[in-house]
Amino acid sequence: MRRIIEHLLKLEFSPSAPPRADWRYSVAQARDEVEDHITASMHMDVAADLAKLFGRARRDAALGLARHGEPDAQALPTTCAYSLDQIVSHDWYPKNRHGIVGDFEGNA
C-alpha cells in the first residue's frame, strides 16, 4: 500500500515525464498484489492505518523526488488526499499538478 501511495504522489506532483511509465507500472503491480492478498479484515486494518501509511509513503516520495532535484516535501500534502477505494482501484490515477497528461490520468 505504501508503494502505491508513494507512486501516486509522484504521479501527481512530479514535473518529470520520463519516470511516469515506471511509476504507473509499479502502481498496477502493487494493486494486483493487494487485490490477490487482502481480506475484508485486512481492508479494515489498512483503512484504520491509512494516515500512518500515507506519512511513510509521503516521506519516501519526498526522498525519491529530492534525489532527482524535484519538489521538496513541502509541495506534498500532509494528509492523505486519496481514499482507500482510489488507492486500490485499477481505474484511478491522480491528475498531474504540472499538466502532464497520460491516457491513464485523472480518471474518476
Distance, CA of 83 to CA of 31 (rounded, Å): 14
Average per-residue pLDDT for the chain: 91
Percent of the chain as helix, strand, coil, to the nearest 5: 60, 0, 40
8 inside domain: yes
pLDDT tens, position by position, 77-105: 999 999 999 999 999 999 999 999 875 55
Number of domains the chain is built from: 1
Distance, CA of 96 to CA of 100 (rounded, Å): 6
pLDDT tens, position by position, 22-70: 999 999 999 999 999 999 999 999 999 999 999 999 999 999 999 988 8
100 inside domain: no
Q: Residue 52 has what pLDDT?
A: 97
Q: Which domain holds residue 48?
A: 2-88
| Length, in residues, of the chain | 108
- Find all residues with CB under 8 Å of 95, minimum gap 6, and list them: 12, 105, 106
18 inside domain: yes
101 inside domain: no
Distance, CA of 71 to CA of 27 (rounded, Å): 21
The pTM assigned to this predicted structure is 0.91
